Amino acid sequence: MPRFEYRLNDKAETYPILYFYESITDIEASMRFICDYFIKEGRTFLKTATHIEPEAFIVYVDELDPDQAEVSNATNALPPQGIAVEVREYAVGAAHFPVVHQFGFDNQVSAFIYLLTDSVNLFGTVWEKTSTEIDEDRQAYIYYAQPQK
């Protein structure tokens, strides 16, 4: 399996490696590729590009200032069993994104399908995706969405 890397977009265009993983599955690499945001060690990053080399999957990111990171630092909800995917209500400029529903998938493919979809029907309301995030600090994927109008 190829190595997986997060690289920083920098002004000198040296693209230093921030984080790397020696062995992840193709499905996990795909899940990370589709996430718009990445949180690790309290830092929030915005994905700007993805790239594949013969020996590496690469995500290029910009680090967001805490004031810019409106899609980060979601309030921790109770962790579900398995692979956690939280559906959270997104609102521009909000400081808190309430949990609409939590899924605990027993396999990566099921979780991946939810991250890929543009909308999901929960409890009779259709929620349209605005962005997705992987929060390594909380070991969860986040699906930000707004109720369909």
pLDDT along the chain (149 residues), means of 10: 93 93 93 97 96 95 78 52 94 92 95 97 97 96 95
* Six token digits for residue 93: 């400029």
> Do the domain assignments include residue 68?
no
Judge whether 71 lies within some domain: no
CB 64 within 8 A of CB 46: yes
- Within-domain flag for 38: yes
If asked whether residues 49 and 89 sit together in one domain, one would say: no
**Domain residues for 109?**
83-147
Which residue, 15, 20, 16, 17, is CA-closest to 32? 20
Per the structure, how many domains does the chain have? 2
The answer to whether residue 108 is domain-embedded is yes
Q: Are residues 102 and 141 in the same domain?
A: yes
